[in-house]
Every structure is written in C-alpha cells, then in structure tokens.
Amino acid sequence: MSSNISKGLSNSQTIEEMGKVLDHPSGLFVLFFTEMWERFSYYGMRALLVIFLIASLDEGGYGWDNKDALQMYALYTGLVYFTPLIGGVIADKLLGYRNSVIIGAFIMAAGHLFMALEIPIFFYMGLGALIIGNGLFKPNISSIVGKLYDDPDKKDGAYTIFYMGINAGAFLGIMLCGYLGEKIGWSYGFGLAMIFMIAGAVQFWLSGDLFGNIGTMADDDGIADTGIPDTLDAIIPTAAEGNRRLFTWIGIASFIAAIIYFINPLIDTESILSTINTAVMPSVIVAAFVGIIGFIVTNPTLTKVEKDRVWVITIFTLFTVFFWWAFEQAGGSMTVFAAEYTERTLTGSGAMTFKVLDTILTIVPVAVITWVLIKLSKVTFKKIPASNIVLGVAFAAIWGIVIWKINREFSTDTTEVGASWFGILNSFFIITFAPIFSKFWNTGIIKSGPIKFALGLFLLAVGFAILAFGCMSIPIGAKTASVSMVWLIVAYLFHTLGELCLSPVGLSYVSKLAPVRLIGIMFGVFFLSNFLANWAGGMTGSYIDPIVEEKGMAFFFMIFAVVPASAAVVLFLLKGKLKKMMHGID
C-alpha cells in the first residue's frame, strides 16, 4: 500500500531507501538538527536580549531601564508567535514548506548578523528579520515532519524526538551564546547564534536529495497537516453567507478595538515602543481574539456537539494564556532577578562544585547529540555528503567551544554564574522528566484534560510562591540583592513540571476536539494564545521596578503565583461542565 512517503519522494524512492535511524526515517533527524540549530539561535539570542539592553554603556550594553527592556522583550516575543500564522499560509499557497524553511532560516541568520553589529538601527532591523524569518521557518518545518508519516501513531513518537531537538537547541544556545555574550562580548554571543543558524540553513538546503519532492511544491493542505484545505470554503456553506458573517465579525472586532483604545487608561506615549505596547497592542489582540472566535462559533455548519467542543478549546486556550503569561517571565523579569538580585559569585568548594556540575551538564547532552549525528551520518552520508560535512563541522565547532569554556572556567579559583545560565534549567528538566511524565500519563491515573491543565497551573504557581518566599529577605525598594540561586533553580524545576502537564496535553486536546474541517484554524487560535501570553507577560514584567519600589520583590513574584493558582481552582471547578461539553472525549 502506498504511503505519504512513497508518494512524496521522487521516482521509486521509498522509506527503506531513505534509510532509518532509531527506527524512524533518517529525514526526521535532518529536521531534528535543522530545528535544533534554529532553537539554538533563538534561545541563545533571547537569553541575551534583556541582559544586553539593561547592561550599562560601560559594559557594552544599551543602558536601558528595566521597563523599556522588558517592553521590547514583550513586543518581540509576542510577534515571534504571531508571524507563523502568516508563514504557514504563505507556504501553503506559494512557496512550499522547504523553500519557506530555507528562506526563513537565512532571514533569521541576517537578523543575528545585524544584532551582532550592536548599532541601534541594525539592532531593530535584526529583531524585525528574526520575527519575519521565524514566521516562515517555525510552522513549516513541523509540517515536513508530518509529511514523513502516514500512520498517526508513528507521528506521536516522531514529534517527541523533534521536541527533544527543540530542547537540545535551547539548552546549547542559552549555555554557549549566553556564556560568550556575558563573559567575552555581546557581539560574540549574537554572532555565534548567526553562525549556527547559517549552519542549520545550509545543512537543510543540501539535504534535498534525501527528501525528494516532500515539501518542494506549494501544497494547500492546511495548517494542521490533515488534508483539509486552508480555504474559507471548508468552514462556510456559501460565499455570500460567509462574507456576511466575516464582515460582521470584522466590524464587531473593529468596534471593540476602537472602544478599548479610547477607554484604555494605561496608554503611555513616552516613546514609540511604549505607544505601540500600550495603545495599539491591547486593542489589536482583544479584537483579534473576539473576532476570530466569534466567527468560528457562529459557523452555521457546526452541530451542537461540535460547537460545544470548540468552546472547550477556546476555554483551554484562555487558561493556556494564564500559564504562559507567568511562565515566560523566564526570559524577562526572572532574568532581571538573576542579574540584579541573585548571588552568582562562587568561591572555594562552592565554585568547584558548580564547575563540575556545569561540565557534566554541558558534556553529556553534546555527547548524546553527537552520537545521534554519527548514526545519521552512517545512514545518509552517501546520499547527502555535503549536508553531513556541514553538520560535522558545526559539531566540531561546538566541541571546540565547549572544551574552551570548560578549560577557561577551571583555570580560575572563583566563578560568576552568568544571569543567562539559569535559562538552561528548563530544557534540562524537560529532557530529564519528560519520559517519566509520559509513562505516568500512560498509567491512566489522571485522565481528565481539565485536571491536567489545572495541575500544570498549580505547579507553576508553586514555583513562583517558592521564589517569592526566597525574596522575603530583600528590603522593599532595593535595587540589588544577593539571594541564593537555589530559589531560582527550584522555581525553574516546578515551572518545567507544570509545562509537562499542560503543553503536550493542550495540543493533544485541540487535535481531539476540533472538527476536522476546522482543525487548522483551531490550532491557529491555540497558538495565538502564545502571542497574547508572551506580550502580556513581558508587559507585566516591565512593571517590576515600581512594584518592587512600593511592595517589594516578594510581592511581585506572588502575583505570578496567585493568578495561575486562582485559574487552576476555577478550571478544577469547571471540570464537570467541560467534561459534558467534550461529549465523550476524555
């Protein structure tokens, strides 16, 4: 029987001819490494962004205050999650998946180059290029993964491996770009992100012979890779009725945007950045959500059961916003806390203990990934030698930087833990605990989706409550402090445990609950929540200074404990109603 792979690959090429690595098509691991390098560059840059902006001019930074730095972080990380919605449509209608990935990767590499120049105009151009490039890259490389499989059960394992690539890239990017940026110079950190983004783009570009025709042509098959076209014909009964409903909700959304703009008491026109964030973004985000959700739920083709399930997805999306709003403090206010309020200078046995642990944390993941690279090369070198050579050279460079970093650290008696270093903990804990959580979910002890969501929110709240407790010794209004970094480490642990409860479960329930003809747009709505959450999280974090000045750092972090905990309680109380609205889907 023919499969997607046999249909996608050129001529008589089959899955067997592509070759297998760890019982999966070797193409999966080409995508694994391509995504790994992209996440390396994204998280490596993100780890430095706020620290660079708030660093003084004498330290080579821009000397921004925390408010402006975190507002820039809010706008950037928000838009990074918005442009993939557009990039997916461009790939479907025009470029195809592979061309979109390659073009997006090179645009992002250019963005990192601009940022490495450390010239203000190029800095903004760099952020813009990263936002645009990510929009083309992010949704389409995931779609290519889906194209390699016909069996849905196989896709679960494939995306698990792919997800490990994401975390491996985040781990290495934060560790190495962050280290170079903070210890050597900002340009070196941003430049390293550029180098490996180029490596990922070239490696993927040179692997075309392995994939045959997969993803080469524009293929209008939907965002969610279900074979359903990305057209309004799939969700409206007639053009006339659809246009009426569409323009009605556009009008409603526009009216809501105008109302919010005129009654918004928080508009700040002090700068262009603050004007965009306080005057434009709230109106656009709320109006977009109301318009899109209203357009979907008033679809006359929806049955009662389908409409109930769409509402459940919408409710889950709302609670997802609360989670990521708090979770994404990791790159914002928690980074500020690490830089300005955490004791990061270690001496004596403490310094040696950290150096040993950091060495293990660095070497073991690189060694494991190198092992995967060797297995991939054995299978694919004859078919795509140039791609393998690029990948091999890139890893040789990684090993060189790792050895240099370790040698540099052990050559001194003391060590200062970089503020960006704490960002690696999320990826490390995911890699460590994901298999345990996977086995736990398989036991069926907790089956309810709402309960899993509520548990994720509760664990996140616990992490922030612990961090707030650790801040109790910081005087109200203090600009600096020396709190033990143990509090941050424990907070990151609980945040990651919460993520493992909520993130995979959310995607799974969208795929289960959404009507097939609407699955693409419902995934779009779910991912749009990341846009809102990242922007709102950054904006909330930008108030860290006035809140600390008046209420204290403990009060600031308790906000991010109380809100998710309250959301968890509400979701727990709604579980019975939501179960009925899911109509038999567990």
DSSP letter at 94?
I
Average pLDDT over every residue of 120-149: 85
Residues 207 and 106 in one domain: yes
In a domain, 7, yes or no: no
Asked which of 392, 416, 440 is the last residue of a domain, the reply is: 416
CA pair distance 130, 105, nearest whole angstrom: 9
* Distance, C-alpha 480 to centroid of its chain: 30
Average pLDDT over every residue of 97-121: 90
pLDDT at 567 over 90: yes
Residues 397 and 466 in one domain: no
Residues 199 and 258 in one domain: no
Average pLDDT over every residue of 173-177: 91
Check residue 5 and give its pLDDT.
39
* Distance, C-alpha 98 to centroid of its chain: 21
pLDDT at 103 over 90: yes
Residues 412 and 422 in one domain: no
pLDDT at 299 over 90: no
Q: Which of 155-164, 186-195, 267-276 has the lowest mean pLDDT?
A: 155-164
pLDDT at 239 over 70: no
Domain count, the chain: 3
Check residue 535 and give its pLDDT.
92
In a domain, 9, yes or no: no
Check residue 126 and give its pLDDT.
93
| pTM of this structure | 0.83
Which residues are 296's β-sheet partners? Answer: none
In a domain, 318, yes or no: yes
In a domain, 8, yes or no: no
Residues 6+ apart with CB under 8 A from 76: 49, 127, 130, 131
Residues 164 and 69 in one domain: yes
In a domain, 18, yes or no: no
Would you list the DSSP string of 505-557? HHHHHHHHHS-GGGHHHHHHHHHHHHHHHHHHHHHHHTTHHHHHHHT-HHHHH
pLDDT at 236 over 70: no
Residues 211 and 184 in one domain: yes
Residues 396 and 543 in one domain: no
Q: Give me the helix-helix angle, 26-54 and 186-205, nearest 10°.
A: 160
The radius of gyration of the chain from alpha carbons, rounded to an integer in Å, stands at 24
Burial 45-54 (b: 16+ CB within 10 A, else e): bbbbbbbbbb
Q: Which long-range contacts (CB under 8 A, 24 or more apart) does 277-280 make?
A: 277/71, 277/74, 277/75, 277/535, 277/539
- 519: containing domain: 303-344+418-586
Which residues are 24's β-sheet partners? Answer: 21
Sign of CA dihedral 182, 186, 191, 193: positive
Check residue 300 and give its pLDDT.
82
| Cβ–Cβ < 8 Å for 334, 51 | no
| pLDDT greater at residue 236 or residue 262 | 262
E strand segments, 225-375: 345-346
pLDDT tens track for 358-391:
999 889 888 988 998 998 898 888 888 999 999 9
| Tally of CB atoms within 10 A around 71 | 27
Asked which of 401, 416, 431 is the last residue of a domain, the reply is: 416
CATH number for the domain harbouring residue 325: 1.20.1250.20
502 exposure class (CB count in 10 Å sphere: 0-12, 13-18, 19+): buried
Q: Which of 159-168, 281-290, 540-549 has the lowest mean pLDDT?
A: 159-168
pLDDT at 571 over 70: yes
In a domain, 3, yes or no: no
